[in-house]
Amino acid sequence: MRLAMVAALLAFVFSCISCASCDLVEGGRFESRAGEFTVLTNGSTCGPFLSEYGSFARVEKPHDVGGHHIWTSKKTLAGGKVTLDRLSIKWASNKHVIVNCRYSNDALDFKVNQWGDLMVTYTFEE
């Protein structure tokens, strides 16, 4: 009896989860002046409560040898409960990117300040 109740409860939970929809939205693509780095922004409604919107800034650095693309390194720089239209990217130089968040500082759940030779700074506006 107990096993049947647990199985029924799990079936109900999984059916509720499968009905939930996630909207994944691609934001902007911001290439450094020398083309060495690209920062991409994206957002989704797949937060812990599905009604919560989250946005992320991710950097990519392609590695080429002899004109052939070998691999791309990727790192998520920042993410939090902000809408995509309130997250913007600006290049200060070839190796310095500024992430602007038009919310308070605590809206971003995590921030990376440096990745390899790329420096990342953050500005906040409310």
Beta bridge partners of 44: 24, 54
In a domain, 10, yes or no: no
- Residue 42: give the domain boundaries: 22-124
86 part of a folded domain: yes
Residue that has been written with the tokens 């994206």 in this structure: 42
CB 19 within 8 A of CB 43: no
Is 51 domain-assigned?
yes
- Based on the structure, what is the number of domains in the chain? 1
pLDDT digits (tens, 9 = 90+) for 44-69: 877 555 556 789 999 999 998 998 98
Q: What is this structure's pTM?
A: 0.76
Counting beta carbons within 10 angstroms of the beta carbon of residue 59, is it exposed (0 to 12), middle (13 to 18) or buried (19 or more)?
A: buried
* Percentage of residues of the chain with pLDDT beyond 70: 79
- Residue 15 falls within a domain, yes or no? no
pLDDT, one tens digit for every residue, the chain (126 residues)? 676 665 656 555 555 554 456 778 899 999 999 999 999 999 987 755 555 678 999 999 999 899 898 999 999 999 998 888 999 999 999 999 999 999 988 899 999 999 999 999 999 987
Per-residue model confidence (pLDDT) at position 76: 95
